[in-house]
Structure 1
């Protein structure tokens, strides 16, 4: 359980990696039975409200595209997100 954590306590790189691995599919946030839910890239027990908040933070930073209104999301990695991910994986930038 993630407890009283905030968005800043959830690393963004695993979420970006997850979306990159989906390739031509979009990520959702709600259905835990689907293999494309971004919840799987979050720490176990992350509340749904916090999942959406983290996705909104990544969206505002231009690293992902999608919708954080509470619908299914349709999240995808942007070119800026791919560049940030490549930089983070090269060891030049540690967090998202």
Structure 2
């Protein structure tokens, strides 16, 4: 699905949606960086974490760089050091994901 070479190649909305999808797939825990990589790569979840290594087209370093940018902008919470990540979309990030409820007539 993805062919991401730089953080800028992943649209903010796609990354935030991937975090929310990862959480939906494994409720009650924040999204790990591996979960987000799999969603962005179009792969099923791996609840046992038996799959190790980069998802084709979705390098870990690119995912971490994108997460770092979104955390700095207040759209994502989590750790950017390279550990699990434990990502959650912030209220500000949710606003960006949700279309405006206002209807202009």
Q: Following TM superposition, where does structure 1 have runs of at least 4 consecutive aligned residues deviating by more than 3 angstroms?
A: none
C-alpha displacement at 1:48, in angstroms? 1.0
- CA distance 1:20–1:47, shift in 2 (3 Å): closer
Q: Which has the larger radius of gyration?
A: 2
Uncovered stretches (5+) of structure 2, i.e. residues with no partner: 42-55, 101-105
Separation in 2, partners of 1:60, 1:67? 11
CA RMSD after TM alignment? 2.1
Which sections of structure 1, spanning at least 5 residues, go unmatched? 31-36, 91-96
- Count of residues in correspondence between the two structures: 81
What's the TM-score once normalised by structure 2's chain length?
0.65
2:47 aligns to what?
Answer: none
TM-score normalised by L of structure 1: 0.70
Determine whether 1:54 maps to 2:52: no
Measured against aligned partners, the alpha-carbon deviations of 1:14-49 in whole angstroms (never above 9, x if no partner) come to: 22123234254211113xxxxxx1102335422111
C-alpha separation between the residues in 2 aligned to 1:20 and 1:84? 13
